[in-house]
Amino acid sequence: MYLHEAQLANIVTSYCTCLGGILPLLFCLLTRPHPRRWMLVYACVLITGIPTVWLHSMEGNRVASFFDVGTNILLALAVIIAVSGDFMRPERRRRLLAVAVAADLLAWVWLVYEVFAPEKRPLVTFGEFGQFYAGELALIANGWVAVILLVANIRHIPAHARPALWMMVATFFTGMLMATASNSEIALRIVPWHAVWHVTGMAGFLLMWLMNHTRFIESPAAAPARPPVFAPVQTGLEEERA
């Protein structure tokens, strides 16, 4: 039924990617919304998770691979849009986004080509352990741009939000190393590398929400003012008791 021993683990843990978007959106609904550019990021995580489930249920399907990698690149671009909106002046931000969008459009065009190409070839290989294809390298490049922007502007991030930032960076860096493995690679009979990357990625997205929640609470003007969904009802009894 399955192509290899790790496929079922890959399918089940794909739902962790979905949760990596659902939970931040739910947290924002129940507490306080983040700026819209970051809400878009959380929504893109959920959008990415759906074709990830599809891909791993039909591994080898090039159309599913196109949507999986393509939405991952869209997510990484959304992160660049959000981070640049936090720290960059409008003119410099427009220039950066023009370059990023142009590069990602080329990546998407290449992904379309790979759907119909006689043979899909990786650009970087790690022997029998795994490989990176062009779309995955584009995804990694987008991720590093976002990390560089965050680290370069760390003085503008409240001190108590920085631990979550560094934990997030470390988590995604670890995940990048795990992603070098092929979908079928299993270590020590209990570590399906790609499935573990799915779980690690969810942890990274939750740390992203935590970093944002911490810094936007310290700077209320940075986030839209709106009471929590379950805010306590003011009855006037409090004033009488006072």
Per-residue pLDDT at 117: 94
Per-residue pLDDT at 36: 95
Per-residue pLDDT at 223: 44
33 inside domain: yes
228 inside domain: no
Per-residue pLDDT at 224: 44
Of residues 168, 165, 174, the one with CA closest to residue 196: 174
pLDDT digits (tens, 9 = 90+) for 194-223: 999 999 999 999 999 999 999 987 665 444
229 inside domain: no
**pTM to 2 decimal places:** 0.87
d(CA 223, CA 28): 11
List beta partners, residue 131.
125
Per-residue pLDDT at 127: 84
Per-residue pLDDT at 218: 60
Query: In the structure, what pLDDT confidence band is assigned to residue 230 with cuts at 50, 70 and 90?
Result: very low
Residue 134: CATH number of its domain: 1.20.1070
pLDDT at 89 over 60: yes
d(CA 171, CA 20): 13
- The lowest-confidence range among 18-22, 40-44, 185-189 is 185-189
234 inside domain: no
38 inside domain: yes
pLDDT digits (tens, 9 = 90+) for 101-122: 999 999 999 999 999 999 889 8
Per-residue pLDDT at 84: 96
Query: In the structure, what pLDDT confidence band is assigned to residue 225 with cuts at 50, 70 and 90?
Result: very low
pLDDT digits (tens, 9 = 90+) for 54-71: 999 998 899 999 999 999
Per the structure, the complete domain to which residue 55 belongs is given by 7-220
2 inside domain: no
110 inside domain: yes
163 inside domain: yes
Counting the structural domains of the chain, the total is 1
Q: Once rounded to an integer, what is the mean pLDDT over residues 116-143? A: 91
d(CA 169, CA 43): 20
The burial of 237, by beta-carbon neighbours within 10 Å (0-12 exposed, 13-18 middle, 19 or more buried), is given as exposed
List beta partners, residue 15.
none
Query: In the structure, what pLDDT confidence band is assigned to residue 227 with cuts at 50, 70 and 90?
Result: very low
